[in-house]
């Protein structure tokens, strides 16, 4: 164990400097020149001195109030959902809908999600494009999807077997166990409503950290939540995509997107008040009242500023955050779960799962964790999609193109298959229906 820790520390130090911080997230098999060309692509037309200001260890991003201010007035005045409006497990998307940065009914097209996440949070188009397609494939009709539950009237592309279930019905497809504030599906019967005990624990950790929920706070709390799932949820399953890729995104997004940027804190500071606003929670400090949750009432705080345009959060950033968290807690990359009773977590050897393409050591190198998540998600997709479509080919074509584009430039080892037979011992996988509920 001590030897492994030294290896992880060495790998971390190798990726801690800038600009090598981002360059090293690309495959070491590529030349430095090729890696630089790939890095520059998402920022075509951006001056080199501006690129040097992008957020990275030891580098402070720029702050421009005019460029980063997010309006909450006029067309973007807060309006809570009503009637058949959909809200679901993602507080950021709920807030976008409540402020009109995507359709207020909670059903968006690919363009709605791509444009909205850029306008409100500063998400890079490479990342938002993939997530939009993934949501449309697994939770929608290939062209749009609901941020909440099922919506009638979506197109029947590819021969849908029923109404798409939306994000609220995407357990272990998109959303998964070990959520920061949502409960595990088997424990609570839903995975889209905030659990106040979890929110309060996160909030308190931020207060102990100088009223700032930063990545260290989130990483440590994620480790706590992981162990809670092991010890409380007999159906806990850490799936290849929802566990290895979507989970670190859900955790890192909290700080990377919700932290309020300012001249004093250009990298962002996520205070308790800002956290409560985005999570539709009231009470707590300084009022001393108990926390209260208003489902669907997530809102963008007043006087709130997003990431700078030259500091947009892209796939290389997510890869670096995923690796940083996994170096501290390698269990985050462990595909597997409980086998029907609590405290029975059994991991799958990644070398056996991927037929030798990845192993426990290489997953902690470069972009490999993200490469595995993207490609394993594609490999597990046919089993999931067969319960959603009569003909899975259009969905697979769309998803395959999105994975190919997302991994372009990451230097990913090619993963052509995973041994899904090893999932048979996990009821969190075998007993999950296509509508996101357990049998």
In degrees and rounded to multiples of 5, residue 418 shows phi and psi of: -130, 150
Q: Pick from 31, 15, 37: which is nearest to 408 by CA?
A: 37
**Burial class of residue 110 in the structure, from the number of CB atoms within 10 Å of its CB (0-12 exposed, 13-18 middle, 19+ buried):** buried
In sequence order, what are the beta bridge partners of 347? 336
Q: Which residue has the tokens 């539709």?
A: 280
* Residue 121 pLDDT: 98
Cα(318)–Cα(309) distance, integer angstroms: 16
Q: Could you check whether the bond before residue 286 is cis, i.e. omega within 30 degrees of 0?
A: yes
**Alpha helical stretches, state H, 71-214:** 91-98, 110-121, 125-139, 185-188, 196-208
| 51-102 confidence digits (pLDDT tens) | 334 445 557 899 999 999 999 999 999 999 999 999 999 999 999 999 999 9
In sequence order, what are the beta bridge partners of 293? 281
Angle, helices 215-232/247-258, rounded to nearest 10 degrees = 150
**Alpha helical stretches, state H, 193-286:** 196-208, 215-232, 247-258, 272-278
* Residue 164 pLDDT: 84
Cβ atoms 97, 147 nearer than 8 A: yes
* Residue 151 pLDDT: 84
Query: DSSP 3-state assignment of 318?
Result: helix
Q: Pick from 346, 154, 130, 140: which is nearest to 237 by CA?
A: 346
In degrees and rounded to multiples of 5, residue 284 shows phi and psi of: 75, -160
- Centre a 10 Å sphere on the Cβ of residue 252 and count the other Cβ atoms it contains: 22
Q: Could you check whether the bond before residue 162 is cis, i.e. omega within 30 degrees of 0?
A: no
* Residue 387 pLDDT: 82
Q: Pick from 245, 185, 239, 188: which is nearest to 384 by CA?
A: 239
Cβ atoms 241, 287 nearer than 8 A: no
In degrees and rounded to multiples of 5, residue 34 shows phi and psi of: -65, -40
Q: Pick from 240, 406, 409, 400: which is nearest to 336 by CA?
A: 240
* Residue 383 pLDDT: 83
Taking the model in full, what pTM does it have? 0.86
Q: Enter the tokens of residue 363.
A: 């997953």
Q: Enter the tokens of residue 386.
A: 């067969």
Range 38-42, long-range pairs (CB < 8 A, 24+ positions):
38/408, 38/409, 39/316, 39/409, 41/409, 42/124, 42/125, 42/126, 42/312, 42/314
Computed from CA positions of residues 137, 138, 140, 145, in that sequence, does the dihedral angle turn out positive or negative?
A: negative
Query: DSSP 3-state assignment of 351?
Result: helix
Angle at 50 between CA 46 and CA 52, to 5 degrees: 120
Q: Pick from 252, 261, 256: which is nearest to 301 by CA?
A: 261
Instruction: Report residues of the chain scoring pLDDT below 70.
Output: 1-58, 153-161, 286-287
Angle, helices 91-98/247-258, rounded to nearest 10 degrees = 50
Alpha carbon distances (Å) from 3 to 138, 200, 211 = 41, 37, 36
């Amino acid at each position: 164990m001590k030897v492994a820790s030294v290896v992880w520390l060495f790998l971390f130090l190798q990726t801690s400097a800038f600009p090598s911080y981002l360059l090293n997230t690309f495959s070491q098999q590529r030349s430095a020149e090729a890696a630089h060309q790939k890095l520059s692509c998402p920022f075509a037309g951006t001056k080199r001195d501006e690129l040097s200001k992008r957020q990275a260890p030891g580098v402070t991003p720029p702050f421009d109030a005019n460029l980063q201010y997010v309006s909450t007035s006029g067309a973007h005045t807060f309006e809570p959902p009503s009637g058949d409006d959909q809200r679901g497990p993602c507080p950021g998307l709920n807030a976008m809908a409540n402020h009109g940065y995507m359709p207020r009914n909670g059903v968006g097209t690919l363009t709605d999600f791509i444009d909205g996440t850029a306008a409100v949070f500063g998400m890079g188009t490479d990342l938002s494009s993939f997530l939009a397609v993934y949501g449309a494939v697994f939770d929608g009709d290939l062209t749009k999807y609901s941020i909440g539950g099922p919506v009638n009237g979506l197109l029947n592309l590819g021969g849908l077997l029923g109404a798409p279930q939306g994000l609220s019905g995407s357990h272990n497809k998109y959303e998964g166990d070990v959520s920061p504030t949502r409960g595990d599906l088997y424990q609570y019967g839903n995975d889209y409503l905030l659990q106040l005990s979890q929110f309060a624990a996160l909030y308190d950790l931020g207060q102990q950290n100088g009223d700032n929920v930063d990545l260290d706070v989130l990483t440590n709390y994620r480790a706590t939540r992981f162990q809670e799932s092991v010890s409380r949820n007999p159906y806990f399953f850490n799936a290849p995509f929802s566990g290895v890729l979507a989970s670190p995104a859900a955790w890192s997004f909290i700080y990377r997107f919700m932290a309020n940027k300012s001249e004093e804190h250009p990298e962002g500071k996520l205070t308790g008040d800002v956290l409560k606003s985005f999570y539709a929670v009231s009470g707590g400090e300084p009022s001393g009242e108990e926390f209260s949750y208003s489902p669907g009432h997530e809102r963008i705080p007043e006087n709130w500023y997003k990431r700078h345009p030259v500091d947009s959060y892209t796939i290389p950033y997510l890869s670096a955050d995923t690796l940083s968290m996994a170096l501290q807690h390698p269990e985050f990359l462990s595909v597997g779960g409980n086998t029907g009773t609590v405290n029975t977590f059994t991991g799958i050897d990644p070398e056996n799962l991927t037929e030798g393409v990845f192993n426990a050591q290489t997953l902690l190198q470069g972009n490999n964790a993200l490469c595995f998540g993207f490609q394993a998600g594609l490999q597990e997709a046919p089993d999931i999609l067969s319960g959603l479509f009569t003909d899975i080919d259009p969905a697979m074509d769309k998803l395959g193109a999105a994975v190919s584009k997302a991994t372009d430039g990451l230097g990913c080892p090619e993963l052509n298959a995973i041994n899904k037979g090893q999932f048979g011992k996990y009821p969190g996988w075998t007993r999950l229906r296509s509508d996101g509920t357990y049998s």
